[in-house]
Amino acid sequence: MECVFCNIVQGKNPAALEWEDEKVIAIRDANPQAPIHLLIIPKEHFPSIGDVPSDTLLAMLETVKALAAQEVFSNGYRIVINKGPDGGQTVHHAHVHLLGGRPFGWPPG
């Protein structure tokens, strides 16, 4: 089964990169749930966040921090990581959602 995020990392599927370094890329979500919705994706395939090694996880979170500093998040932002079917994971390649640009409620689900 092909992985949509692996295809983006490999340049097989088009996506406008917002960030790229040796470990991760960041793109705008194709189906945004907020005015700003970025996906931070490791370049190496890991099925879920529980499979991501610590150094790559740190790179993902450092990218969140850097992107949040670049975007206009006047009153904050939300970071979401879904794991497994009950957690709402639909793409089985670990990734972090960075959302902002509107107020969010709680609980989220």
Cβ atoms 56, 24 nearer than 8 A: yes
Whole-number Å distance between alpha carbons of 65 and 84: 25
Q: Where are the alpha helices (DSSP H) in the chain?
A: 4-9, 54-70
Q: What is the mean pLDDT of the chain?
A: 94
Domains and CATH numbers, the chain: 4-100 (3.30.428.10)
Once rounded to an integer, what is the mean pLDDT over residues 16-42? 96
Residue appearing with tokens 């395939």:
45
Cβ atoms 58, 22 nearer than 8 A: no
pLDDT in tens, 37-83: 999 999 999 999 999 999 999 999 999 999 999 987 878 999 999 99
Q: Report, as residue numbers or ranges, the catalytic residues.
A: 95
pTM above 0.85, yes or no: yes
